[in-house]
Structure 1
């Protein structure tokens, strides 16, 4: 019997990431990077034994060709899609008895779909939003295709996952509150599914030691430093005498703050030696690609791997199996693979490797 796969794309999701908007809920700009992500997913998605029920036009239809068996269903709005379209299409998926829903979007899209399906059928996210705290997202588009293939073949595992989201207006002001909206069903295989984000309470003594080590030993006067988001990184700026939004991306020249709350295009204009100071996301392990999308592929191409400074408290690092890299460019992801030295104190380090699943292994898609 054919598996019915409901498939929809939120074309707006993620459009706020590169411009530093920290969300897309109030934007009506299509994300120009989404088509490539869908292409990456479909290049590995199952074709045999499945029928895709696809939302029309830019919400899914435009990505499919005769290589796939698919049926198109209507949306409410033909041009400017809204969350009402997502909710309407999701209801149609249930009416048509889809076995699973695969969607491209972020936490807002996950919330809208969950509001309809609850735990009736599993949902699986292709990561293309700004905020992806929920536990229904695959690590990469390729990982989503692998999980779906395993599900169709009866090899994946059904599991519960949190649906989480933040208030974007408060988020942009630097007030970070994650709210649990419910527990969804999803599917998982191996370590291709990203766990829901976990906030870790930091030890101030550790933060002091980390900041002092970076300031005293690693910051040079004639180079630029791009400071990522997160309280561990921002503590270094605090020790330098600057208070910035801990969710934003900031730039210093040596120890002098040049600009705060920068976007992708600001970073592209930087010249000379560029350094990147980052901290991984608790439990998820993302170093690049979640919460710091202002640091996009063309910026990363200008940064040497040995110019990445990683800082973390031990308590956070203990929740992470490996570091995840999702630059938006699979070839660029490989540049940053390997083992990193993470600063956890003054002259104290822990070695941690990047996750293997950032590149596709042939055995996983057979």
Structure 2
């Protein structure tokens, strides 16, 4: 039995975030503003705010690993709380810049962070978004003068509570949150000029208010219909992409929605709503998909939550390595995930290094434009 992979939390602090707020400087962007604020006696608050978030996780320290940035960009507050951490980036200067934030984010992604928890304001969110895009989920601890972006929780402690839910195996929703920032120069002149900079994947408390409810419970049939609508919409948006359809009844529902014959215990390949290959072998799959843009559609199979290695051995390690984790669409109803009782999803590709590389947070499609984050090992 391979050892369970612990959740990897990336911790990043912009130590100067919000430093100009108390002095009515209308922001903290730019070295001159930070120097002015420090000269006027401003006290950095971002680490204290990250501390409020991380303090909610102290009792669960054995459940996760922290990867962070040297000194006041994360290491200091982790050590102050007695949370073991591994430093993956060290800035060259004490007064860090946006380039340090972006370099740190790259290192956290390379370390395999399942979630990047960062403290800052809208400027920090912009820097994080520039690197992350949709590669890993993020969660912002509000610490800046400007908090217009939707990636931040309402309080620092709330951020810790969301992470705690993820660690305990509770279902946590995922949504695309907007990153916005205002022009500080215009703001100091009394004008609010806000600009959209992108979206990032953000976890938040799971809500059950949705159209597919019946008597407070999910209707399995309606939920499956919603999942099918989500997947077929993606297919319409990517007409040149090959979709490899794995085994299982949830994937079979998508094939039925498309009006295509399905191999319930096999693997089929489709494009533009047409069946290209049926019940393919591992070798055939490698040949058919070679040189194409590909997405794999799979579901959670078996009572132990297997994604690979149970009924879909045609999805070889060679194919999955070539594909990449970011091109895997995992489908499951929330009821099916809840039946796991907090146990992680299982990866059993036959290649332990590949299992390790793919382990961590997966975005699970649970309805129409409805996703949850769930851990796989």
TM-score if structure 2 supplies the norm length? 0.48
TM-score if structure 1 supplies the norm length? 0.50
Task: Pick the structure with greater CA Rg.
Answer: 2
The structure richer in helix per residue is 2
